[in-house]
Amino acid sequence: MSLKALAARIFAAIVDWKTNKWRNRPVASQEKVFKSLLRKGRNTQFGKDHHFDEIHTHSDFARRIPVRDYEDLKPYVEKILQGQENVLWPGKPLYFAKTSGTTSGAKYIPITEEMIKEQVKASRNAILNYIHKSGNASFVDGKMIFLQGSPVLSEKNGIKVGRLSGISAHYVPGYLQRNRLPSWETNCIEDWETKVEKIVEETLKENMTVIAGIPSWVQMYFERLKERSGKAIGALFPNFQLFIYGGVNFEPYRNRFENLMGRKIDSIELFPASEGFFAYQDQLNKRGLLLLLDAGIFYEFIKADEFFEQNPRRHTIGEVELGVNYAMILSTNAGLWGYNLGDTVQFISLNPYRVVVSGRIKHFISAFGEHVIAKEVEYAMEAALSSSKAEVTEFTVAPQISPKEGELPYHEWLVEFQKEPEDLAGFIKILDAEMQEQNSYYFDLIEGKVLQPLKITKIQTGGFQNYMKSIGKLGGQNKIQRLSNDRKLAEGLIAFRK
C-alpha cells in the first residue's frame, strides 16, 4: 500500500468519527445550524425585512419566512447582481452558479465562502466514507476524471459567475491535482462533443481508477472510448474501481454501463446542486443517501400532496415519516431562506436519516389524477430491464390525452433502447404491472377503463442526444426530464422516433 493510500485510510477513519458525532444527534445538529443561520442573517437586508430579531423557534420562522422559489427570491438576487452587499448573507457571495431557469430565464444562485467549503468537504467525505467502509484506497494512486462544465468564469460586479461544476473545478485539492484529468485546456472547451473527443484522446492510455459525472454523459464518453479502442471499458482501464454520479437515478442505466465496462464496478451516488450539497450514499451497495445535517443547511419538508395548499405544514427533521413524498425546503449559509429546491425526497431510514430522490415537485404526471412521480417510473423501468436482456440509453414519460379516435388515453414512454427486448409486449406488460403495483391511483384508472396500459414509442439511436443538441443543452449538467404533465418534451422527441 502506498503512503498516499495509507494516509487516505487514516483520514477516512477520522472523518467517520466526526460524522458519527452529528449523525447520532440529528435534531440537535439541525437546531445548531438553525440558530447559526439566524444569527448571521440578522443584519442583512433580508433579515431586517423579515424581523429575524423576533424569530426564536421554528414556528416563528415558518410564520415570518414564506416558502419561495427562485422567482420569488429574484428581487434580492438582483440587488446583489447590481453590487449591493449584505442582502441575503453578510458581505457578497464569492460566486454565482448560473443555471437555466424555466419561467425566469437564467438563474443566479449565490455561493458564499461558507457554502463552497461545505460543498468541497461533502464531496471529499463521500469518497472517504467509501474508503472507510470498503477498506479500498488504492484508487487514489491512479488517474481520476470528473466530467464537468467549463471552469472559465465570467464576472458581475466583482462576483465570479459560472456553472457549479466549473466553479468546483477550482477547488480540487492540491494532493489530487497530479491525478486529475482532463487537462485544464480540455476542461475549458465549451462544445460538448468536441470536449468528449478530446477527453477520449487524453485518457485512452491512462491508468484511470475513478470516473465521475452524470450517467447519461459518462455513457457517451464510454461509448466513444469503446469505438476508438475496440475494448470494453473494464479491459481498457483494468484498475478502474469507482464510478461517482449524481443528478439522476443510475439504476435504469446500470445494465448498459456494465455491458460497456464488461464487469461490475463500485459506485457512489451524490446529491449536490447549485444550492448546496445535501446527501451522499454512505452504505456500500445499498440505496439511500445520508442527509447532511451539519453542513450549513437547515431543512424543512412539506408533504408533496399538500404542497400547493394554502400554508401547508412545514416539518423539521424530527417530524418526518418513512415513505412519504416530501418537497425539500432549504435555508442555507449562502442566503437562501425558505427556498423550494424543487426536488422531492422520501425517507427510507430515520436512524440515521437517509433519503432517496423521488422526483421534482413540478415534474409529475397527473393528467387524470394519478400523481405519478419519477421514482415510480424509474423503479418500473428497472424491474422491466432486470427481467429481460434489454438495455436503455435514455427514456422519458408523458401523458397522451388525445389519442386516436376510439382509443383510451395512456402514458407514452419514449425510450431509446441500446438493446431492444426480445419480447416488447412482455416488456410493456412488466412495466405497466409495476406501475400499477407502485401507484394505486394508476391501478384504479387502468381497472376503471379510464386509461389503457402504457405504450412505448421507440426513439432512434442517438435521438435523445440529438434532441438535446437541437435545444442547446448537450452535455455538462443538463439532464433529460424523466416525466412531465404536458407533451412539450414528448413532441420534441417525436421527430427522432425510430
pLDDT the model gives residue 389: 86
pLDDT the model gives residue 316: 98
Q: What is the DSSP string of 104-141?
A: SSEEEEEE-HHHHHHHHHHHHHHHHHHHHHH---GGGG
Question: Is the predicted pLDDT of residue 103 greater than 50, yes or no?
Answer: no
**Nearest-angstrom CA–CA distance, 355 and 349:** 7
Write out pLDDT tens, residues 267-299.
999 999 999 999 999 999 898 999 999 999 999
Mean pLDDT of the region 296-305 = 96
Q: What angle do CA 392, 394, 400 make, to 5 degrees?
A: 110
**Nearest-angstrom CA–CA distance, 390 and 384:** 9
Question: Is the predicted pLDDT of residue 104 greater than 60, yes or no?
Answer: no
Mean pLDDT of the region 349-365 = 89
pLDDT the model gives residue 478: 74
pLDDT the model gives residue 147: 82
What order do you get walking across the sheet with 455-458 strand by strand?
Answer: 391-400, 410-419, 455-458
Question: Is the predicted pLDDT of residue 406 greater than 70, yes or no?
Answer: yes
Q: In the structure grid, which three cell numbers stand for residue 269, read together?
A: 451516488
Question: Is the predicted pLDDT of residue 178 greater than 90, yes or no?
Answer: no
What phi, psi does 484 have (nearest 5°)? -150, 160
Bond from prior residue into 312 cis (ω within 30 degrees of 0)? no
Q: Which domains does the chain have, with CATH numbers?
A: 374-494 (3.30.300)
pLDDT the model gives residue 109: 94
Of 238, 5, 293, the C-alpha closest to 128 is: 5
pLDDT the model gives residue 80: 96
Pick the more confident residue, 345 or 366.
345
Q: DSSP character for 365?
A: B
pLDDT band at 102 (very low <50, low <70, confident <90, very high): very low
- Residues whose CB is less than 8 angstroms from the CB of residue 236 and which lie 6 or more positions away in sequence, other chains included: 204, 225, 226, 229
pLDDT the model gives residue 172: 78
Spell out the long-range contacts of 63-66 with Cβ–Cβ below 8 A and sequence spacing 24 or more. Answer: 65/331, 65/337, 65/338, 66/338
Bridge partner list, 347: 322, 355
Question: Is the predicted pLDDT of residue 347 greater than 70, yes or no?
Answer: yes
Q: Are strands 353-360 and 95-100 parallel, antiparallel or unpaired?
A: unpaired
Q: In the structure grid, which three cell numbers stand for residue 83, read together?
A: 453590487
Q: Which amino acid is at 43?
A: N
- Residues whose CB is less than 8 angstroms from the CB of residue 262 and which lie 6 or more positions away in sequence, other chains included: 232, 233, 234, 235
Q: Are strands 297-303 and 289-291 parallel, antiparallel or unpaired?
A: unpaired
Q: In the structure grid, which three cell numbers stand for residue 227, read together?
A: 469505438
* Weakest mean pLDDT among 56-65, 176-185, 192-201, 413-422: 176-185
pLDDT the model gives residue 168: 86
Write out pLDDT tens, residues 39-54.
999 999 999 999 999 9
**Nearest-angstrom CA–CA distance, 240 and 212:** 11
Q: Which amino acid is at 323?
A: G
Question: Is the predicted pLDDT of residue 200 greater than 70, yes or no?
Answer: yes
Write out pLDDT tens, residues 237-258.
999 999 999 877 787 788 888 8
The pLDDT > 70 percentage for the chain reads 98
**Nearest-angstrom CA–CA distance, 39 and 41:** 6
**Nearest-angstrom CA–CA distance, 382 and 434:** 10
**Nearest-angstrom CA–CA distance, 281 and 296:** 19
The pLDDT > 90 percentage for the chain reads 67
Of 477, 429, 437, 479, the C-alpha closest to 454 is: 429
Q: DSSP character for 453?
A: P
What is the pLDDT of the chain when averaged over all its residues? Answer: 91
**Nearest-angstrom CA–CA distance, 337 and 275:** 11
* Weakest mean pLDDT among 271-285, 344-358, 383-397, 478-492: 478-492
**Nearest-angstrom CA–CA distance, 458 and 58:** 50
pLDDT band at 384 (very low <50, low <70, confident <90, very high): very high
